Structure 1
Amino acid sequence: MEKQRNLILAVALMGLLLIGWDYGIAYFYPHPKNAPVAAASAPAAVPASSGPPAKPTREGGLVAPDDIALEQRDLAQALGAGNRVAIDAPGLKGSINLVGGVVDDLTLARHRETIAKNSAPVRLFSPAGTPAQHFAQVGWLGQNGVVAPNGQTLFTADGTKLTPATPVTLKWTNPSGQTFALRYAIDDNYMLTVTQSVSNAAPGAVSVAPFARINRTDKTMSQDTWQVHSGPIGAFDGSVNFSNNYTDVAKTGTISPAGQANWLGFTDIYWLSALIPADGSKPTSDFRSLGNNLFAADLIWPATAVAPGQTQSQTVRLFAGAKENNVLEAYEQQGVTHLSLSIDWGWFRWFEKPIFWLLDSLFKAVKNFGLAIILLTLLVRGIMFPVAQRQFASMAAMRALQPKMKAIQERHKDDKALQQQEIMKLYKEERVNPLAGCLPIFLQIPVFFALYKVLVLTIEMRHQPFVLWIRDLSAPDPLHVLNLFGLLPFTPPSFLGIGVLAIILGVTMWAQFKLQPSAMDPAQQQVMGLMPWMMMFVMAPFASGLLIYWITSNLLTIAQQRYLYSRHPQLKAQATKDQPTPAARTTITAKPKKK
């Protein structure tokens, strides 16, 4: 009767976990109602969204339909107004606005919004006043009455297109005789270098304070979770700071992180915009809330006196692009401190980064990330195979000790402490480690977690196809059994969204548990029999790549167990012997008869 209660309790807890998991996934990982839209023709005027803000999606971008439509109209209007210098580089496309000299129009040439072939490139920067506002401004603060350019100043340019081979300089001269210049250069990836200079043709010295700023809305932020940071970010005195989010800045007004800024800006799960001061310069830095969901990351240098006939220059770099690990590490080689750690690897990056490097290397060799995941699984299980052999040898030794252990238990059944001491003494005399069977599981946990983080964090996995219907390994299996693989016009809730991969996972886990050599009582066996199917539901919303890893690992475990059973036939014989008889199962499940 007690075993029946335990079984019912276990089933109830599994059901609660299943339903709770679905609600948790829906809360923390909502799906956008509409896919983000880059540019397009201007639609009819649509009012901005009202009411509480929509929850951010995993990748970020506008969520409210009103905001998406308004962004289309405002973006087309702003970019069609003219007064722009085109940006045409292998990594970035867009334009610089001559009004204010700001970089406010950037799309990422190597990344698309969706997996559709005709999908627009990811838009990172949008002009001020648009719902997806995000731009960078470099300028000066005039001191003692000096008139410096501002956001409404119209600069003139010495070129019409900024490319890696053709820098562009913007200039403006104030009525007092000071000429302010911004020289923009760009590389093949995501880095712009801005040299800001002031030439003084007046008879007296003037003083100006250079500044650089990134301005953005949090409406386009990606989800900020315990494992992936989204929001203000920076490196200060050589240490990357993930501790602030938009809510903190909005509540405080201004946050000035301790230490000298190596770089600072804003991050999403895949994208980063960051200001990088030149080596040796010592600007102050802060994050500010501007109200109305707008935020700024600032660098402000000390005021500099410019003598008559002299020119003062200041250089700052702007990273605006995708967090591609090899690109970030290349910038680190160029002196940008820990830029690759803008990818939120967490405490275990010492293990996650090698897994990522290995997976990326395999991908470059085979040109398919799904196949690379399978090869990674083969390598991991191959490395751990000697451990598995020792595990089975230990289990065989434990089987041989069963008669002696039962004798000890019977002899000291009234003294549990002494019973345990005698059993531990037996283990020591026979040189048997009862925990050896757990070692392969413990060794696989960090690999599984590292692969999970790699799939969640790294843009290299984004939109990577495998075979057939698996077109994005970083996303869940798109086919659902309950809607007949898309034939019926509805989307099941995530805990019922069982796809083909989830079913294969459940079947392979069930087959693996059937081969387990450890003896269990019938109630435990029934609970373990339910476990694969519960895990099938729990894992269904996870990234397809993670399910492929687990399925491959299960298949290798089954093959490995069959091989090792052939090497230890006494273990297989004992496992078969320990299986409960039909009569025993009936005894557990049948209701007791009334006397």
Structure 2
Amino acid sequence: MDISTFPPLALALDALYNLVLGIGTVVQPFAGGAAPVLAIALLTVLVRLALVPVSVSQVRAEVTRRRLAPAIAALRAKYAKKPEALQKALLRLYTSEKVSPLAGILPTLAQAPVLSAIYALFVHPQLAGHANLLLTQTFLGIPFGSNLFATLGAAVTAGFPPVLVSVALLVVLAVVVELTRRANLRWAGSALNAEAGAAADHVPGAAAVASIARFLPYITVLFAAIAPFAAAVYLVTSATWTLGERAVLRRVIRAA
């Protein structure tokens, strides 16, 4: 069963469909052939602007964690041989400081429905009973509904420029992901070390998990490679926005 045909979801997808087409129509006079991809990028910006309060909450939680780093280290030393007591003490500390464990992933959770909807927009030939015209749109020869592997398959007849565009998009995303990862490490610094140290002492395999976690952000790049091109554009725009937004908010909130 195709859940996109479920009336509430169909109406939501149709509304998003018309929004993307509308933005594309507005920017067409000055964007030309880039209007479809610019429409996706502008839609992403609108979504991220709506999520600014969530991002502010996340950065405030990060600032609090940095401030609590010495207290976390003290609790780690105090409950070195009592992992359960340590976890309870950390929970009490976070509760007293009003730090939510979910603060770090709220922006991702909030964006998930939008990304899912954009993915659905470019895989269904029919939406709300009408043809999906978005699937007819292209950017530099790349259909919005295709992914990198489809572009590679078409390279034999269509030539390599579309492939290069897709690969370049993934490279940009990988660079932004790495810059974001490094910025997060520099910012969190002592707070991450304190919490990671506590975990490493008491959780079997924590060191291995930490090593794997280094590569988890790159799952976004893998998803962008298999997702429709339009969804990849959304991911690149959102990741770039996150990198800049986080730098600004950290500076402003820390100075407040």
Same fold (TM over 0.5): yes
Q: What is aligned with 1:377? A: 44
Larger radius of gyration: 1
Query: Aligned runs of 1:367-516 on 2, under 5 Å?
Result: 367=25, 368-457=35-124, 458=127, 459-466=132-139, 468-470=140-142, 472-477=143-148, 486=159, 499-516=167-184
- Structure 1: state its 5+ residue gaps: 1-241, 243-342, 571-595
Q: What is aligned with 2:22? A: 364
- Structure 2: state its 5+ residue gaps: 26-34, 197-206
Q: What is aligned with 2:250? A: 565
Cα displacement (A) at 1:392: 0.3
AA in 1 matched with 2:24: V
Cα displacement (A) at 1:543: 1.2
* CA distance in structure 2 between the aligned counterparts of 1:565 and 1:524, rounded to whole angstroms: 27
Aligned partners of 2:54 and 2:107 also within 8 Å? yes
Q: Are residues 434 and 354 of structure 1, via their aligned partners in 2, closer, same or farther at CA, if it must alter by over 3 Å?
A: same
Q: What is aligned with 1:71? A: none
Deviations along 1:198-236, one digit per CA (max 9) or x if unpaired, are: xxxxxxxxxxxxxxxxxxxxxxxxxxxxxxxxxxxxxxx
* CA distance in structure 1 between the aligned counterparts of 2:239 and 2:86, rounded to whole angstroms: 37
AA in 2 matched with 1:486: G
Aligned partners of 1:506 and 1:532 also within 8 Å? no
Aligned partners of 2:17 and 2:121 also within 8 Å? no
**How large is the RMSD of aligned CA atoms in angstroms?**
3.3
* CA distance in structure 2 between the aligned counterparts of 1:455 and 1:487, rounded to whole angstroms: 23
Identity, in percent, stands at: 23
Deviations along 1:305-347, one digit per CA (max 9) or x if unpaired, are: xxxxxxxxxxxxxxxxxxxxxxxxxxxxxxxxxxxxxx74066
Cα displacement (A) at 1:567: 1.3
Equivalent position SS for 2:4: coil
Cα displacement (A) at 1:487: 5.5
* CA distance in structure 1 between the aligned counterparts of 2:102 and 2:254, rounded to whole angstroms: 21
* CA distance in structure 2 between the aligned counterparts of 1:487 and 1:425, rounded to whole angstroms: 57
Deviations along 1:165-199, one digit per CA (max 9) or x if unpaired, are: xxxxxxxxxxxxxxxxxxxxxxxxxxxxxxxxxxx
Cα displacement (A) at 1:451: 1.3
Aligned partners of 2:61 and 2:103 also within 8 Å? yes
Q: Are residues 453 and 405 of structure 1, via their aligned partners in 2, closer, same or farther at CA, if it must alter by over 3 Å?
A: same
Cα displacement (A) at 1:453: 1.2
Deviations along 1:267-317, one digit per CA (max 9) or x if unpaired, are: xxxxxxxxxxxxxxxxxxxxxxxxxxxxxxxxxxxxxxxxxxxxxxxxxxx
Question: Could you state the TM-score of these two structures normalised by the residue count of structure 2?
Answer: 0.71
* CA distance in structure 1 between the aligned counterparts of 2:97 and 2:22, rounded to whole angstroms: 49
Equivalent position SS for 2:159: coil
Q: What is aligned with 2:201? A: none
AA in 1 matched with 2:167: G
Equivalent position SS for 2:136: coil
Q: Are residues 353 and 501 of structure 1, via their aligned partners in 2, closer, same or farther at CA, if it must alter by over 3 Å?
A: farther
Aligned length: 217
Q: Are residues 430 and 529 of structure 1, via their aligned partners in 2, closer, same or farther at CA, if it must alter by over 3 Å?
A: closer
Question: Could you state the TM-score of these two structures normalised by the residue count of structure 1?
Answer: 0.33
* CA distance in structure 2 between the aligned counterparts of 1:361 and 1:394, rounded to whole angstroms: 34
Structure having the higher strand fraction is 1
* CA distance in structure 1 between the aligned counterparts of 2:65 and 2:4, rounded to whole angstroms: 40
Deviations along 1:345-392, one digit per CA (max 9) or x if unpaired, are: 066x64564354134234224324322211211111001001100110
* CA distance in structure 2 between the aligned counterparts of 1:531 and 1:507, rounded to whole angstroms: 14
AA in 2 matched with 1:540: A
Cα displacement (A) at 1:417: 2.1
* CA distance in structure 2 between the aligned counterparts of 1:562 and 1:542, rounded to whole angstroms: 28
* CA distance in structure 1 between the aligned counterparts of 2:12 and 2:174, rounded to whole angstroms: 29
Structure having the higher helix fraction is 2
Aligned partners of 1:513 and 1:528 also within 8 Å? no
Deviations along 1:398-447, one digit per CA (max 9) or x if unpaired, are: 11112112212211222222222222222222222232122111111111
Q: Are residues 507 and 359 of structure 1, via their aligned partners in 2, closer, same or farther at CA, if it must alter by over 3 Å?
A: farther
* CA distance in structure 2 between the aligned counterparts of 1:450 and 1:538, rounded to whole angstroms: 15
- 1:354 is aligned, of 9, 12, 21, to 12
Deviations along 1:568-589, one digit per CA (max 9) or x if unpaired, are: 448xxxxxxxxxxxxxxxxxxx
Q: Are residues 540 and 430 of structure 1, via their aligned partners in 2, closer, same or farther at CA, if it must alter by over 3 Å?
A: closer
AA in 1 matched with 2:178: W
Q: Are residues 432 and 418 of structure 1, via their aligned partners in 2, closer, same or farther at CA, if it must alter by over 3 Å?
A: same
Aligned partners of 1:369 and 1:465 also within 8 Å? yes
* CA distance in structure 2 between the aligned counterparts of 1:426 and 1:362, rounded to whole angstroms: 45
